[in-house]
Amino acid sequence: MYLASIISALEAILKSRTSQGAVAWTISLLTFPFIALPAYLIFGRNRFDGYLEKRDEIERESLRLIQRTSDNIQDHLAPVSAGSPMHTSLLNLARMPATRGNALQLLVDGQATFDDIKYGLASAQHYILFQFYIIRDDALGRSLGRVLADKARDGLKVYLLYDEIGSRQFQKSGLLKQLRMAGVKAAPFNTTQGPRNRFQLNFRNHRKVVVVDGRKAWIGGHNVGDEYLGLNKRIGHWRDTHTRVEGPAVLGAELAFATDWLWASQSHLEVDWNFSREAPGQSTVLVFPSDPASEYEEAGLMFHQCIVAAERRIWIASPYFVPDRGIMAALQLAALRGVDVRIMIPDEPDGPLVAMANWSFTRELLACGGKVYRYQGGFMHQKVLLMDDELAGVGTANFDNRSFRLNFEITLLVNDPGFAGEVQAMLEQDLERSRQVGLSEFDSKPVWFPLAMAIARLFSPVL
């Protein structure tokens, strides 16, 4: 046990992304090995061993398929200038180009989202890619499941991917058995796959991606469950946002799904990759996937780039406000240079630790002139950003360390003043249902409140 703890401590020193994490794990492993070693095996690593090699393999295969089936892909690539919101850094991090000619539909809340997805699934003629972090065997899950099963029986290729931790009840459900009997190819993401990941429960595949025939894709914050329709009486109204995209950007969603499927099933997708040669709209879109296998903290760097590039405003809506030190500093500097910095979070966060951490970072931002709003129209779960008047993002990445470092996420970054205007109008309606937090609120908090905030910050890397 002591030898294993020493080896783990050396690994923590070499591989931890922050010095604070390296120090904390090293001291714990050397001082309390019988407690710290099991914890390290489960929560200690933030690099997903083995996944990167598989991702490179499927991306090479995908590019060959794209080149073989779509000889005019170059016509859709968006030119990038130094003054473009699609900065070169974001393109390099995404490992795929931005594309022009896309059409987008903003889908507000669950009913609009799942009605649109269900209609899209019913129109499928060739294949369906269906991925969610949480899938439940409830009324909504069974409703969508019937469409997937019917399409599979009709001979379409239907692939279903879920996170085995987020969907742990779904793994044993009758719905999953019925889908497989109908011919749906379903697989858990398998975060514990491989000898190095056997005990690792810290990673999540948090992506929500639906693709139909390579022509339409849906990406956003909803999972498949009745509560996302606002049907859970305890939670009440569920405020969330999804986006449908049509056009060449759908290819990015397909690639993200394909990389996950290869890792999960150790097999390639058996579909004839379609590519929309049409340009149904005018929006420039960058599909931005991020994962813990990368050399960089891609989701965190995406937020950081948008914050430092903002000239007029940066608005971020997320159920979590638990950034790291670098991103917090970027927000403070943006507010100090006169950028309209607004963070919107739910008034009743998901758990006491998250609540205390939110308050801690709120106090830091308010002191610099930033603004924090607490949504009171239900539980707000959307992951949306708005930079200036032209760049908007809708996806799965929360504004917290888990999404920055540990989760598989995906975000649609849209460079289009028209779509940004729609997002602005949507967020302004949300702000009307929110209350702005002031520094004076901290004066009325109980005497134990500062200590609770400080303790919560200690857990911020895994919240």
Predicted confidence (pLDDT) per residue in 322-332, tens digit: 998 899 999 99
Chain centroid offset of residue 98 CA: 18
Domain span at residue 208 reads 51-81+99-284
| DSSP per-residue letters across 288-352 | EEE-TTSSS-HHHHHHHHHHHH-SSEEEEE-S-EE--HHHHHHHHHHHHTT-EEEEEEESS-SSH
Q: In this structure, is residue 261 part of a structural domain? A: yes
| DSSP per-residue letters across 167-194 | TTTGGG-HHHHHHHHTT-EEEE--TT-S
Yes or no: say if 48 and 377 are a contact pair by the CB < 8 Å rule.
Answer: no
Residues 408 and 430 in one domain: yes
Q: In this structure, is residue 14 part of a structural domain? A: yes
pLDDT at 195: 61
Residue found under tokens 């707000």: 380
Residues 274 and 323 in one domain: no
Q: In this structure, is residue 311 part of a structural domain? A: yes
Alpha carbons 60 and 259: distance in angstroms, whole number: 10
Residues 367 and 235 in one domain: no
How many domains is the chain built from? Answer: 3
Interval 316-326 mean pLDDT: 92
User: 286-313: per-residue pLDDT in tens?
Assistant: 999 998 877 788 999 999 999 999 999 9
Q: Answer yes or no: 213 catalytic.
A: yes
Query: What stretches of 154-287 show up as alpha helix (H) in DSSP?
Result: 174-181, 250-265
- Those residues whose C-beta lies under 8 Å from the C-beta of residue 135, and which sit 6 or more positions away, are 141, 160, 162, 167, 170, 223, 224, 225
Q: In this structure, is residue 396 part of a structural domain? A: yes
C-alpha pair distances (Å), 262 with each of 42, 184, 347: 24, 16, 39
- DSSP, res 403: I
pLDDT at 277: 66
Residues 7 and 107 in one domain: no
CB atoms < 10 A from the CB of 454, how many?
A: 11
Which amino acid, residue 313? R
Alpha carbons 154 and 184: distance in angstroms, whole number: 11
Q: Answer yes or no: 383 catalytic.
A: yes
Yes or no: say if 99 and 287 are a contact pair by the CB < 8 Å rule.
Answer: no
User: 338-367: per-residue pLDDT in tens?
Assistant: 999 999 999 987 777 788 888 889 999 999
Residues 133 and 199 in one domain: yes
Domain boundary among 284, 313, 345: 284
Q: Which of 137, 138, 163, 213 is catalytic?
A: 213
Alpha carbons 283 and 345: distance in angstroms, whole number: 28
Yes or no: say if 268 and 62 are a contact pair by the CB < 8 Å rule.
Answer: no
Averaged pLDDT of the chain: 87
Q: Answer yes or no: 206 catalytic.
A: yes
Alpha carbons 383 and 394: distance in angstroms, whole number: 6
CB atoms < 10 A from the CB of 1, how many?
A: 9
Closest CA to 153 of 127, 182, 178, 126: 182
Q: At what angle do helices 449-458 and 352-366 cross, to 10 degrees?
A: 100
Query: What stretches of 16-85 show up as alpha helix (H) in DSSP?
Result: 19-31, 33-43, 51-69
Residues 341 and 279 in one domain: no
- Out of 91-100, 230-239, 295-304, 416-425, give the one with best mean pLDDT: 416-425
Alpha carbons 109 and 300: distance in angstroms, whole number: 26
Q: Which of 206, 222, 304, 371 is catalytic?
A: 206
Residues 333 and 240 in one domain: no
Q: Which of 54, 87, 151, 208 is catalytic?
A: 208
- Give the domain CATH number at 310: 3.30.870.10
Interval 86-95 mean pLDDT: 83
Residues 307 and 224 in one domain: no
Yes or no: say if 378 and 217 are a contact pair by the CB < 8 Å rule.
Answer: no
pLDDT at 394: 98
Low-confidence winner among 96-100, 130-134, 229-233, 315-319 (lowest mean pLDDT): 96-100
Q: Which of 388, 400, 416, 430 is catalytic?
A: 388
Yes or no: say if 255 and 61 are a contact pair by the CB < 8 Å rule.
Answer: no
Alpha carbons 128 and 157: distance in angstroms, whole number: 6
What pTM was computed for the model? 0.90
Q: Which of 260, 324, 381, 416 is catalytic?
A: 381
Q: Which of 383, 400, 416, 430 is catalytic?
A: 383
Q: Answer yes or no: 304 catalytic.
A: no
- DSSP, res 444: T
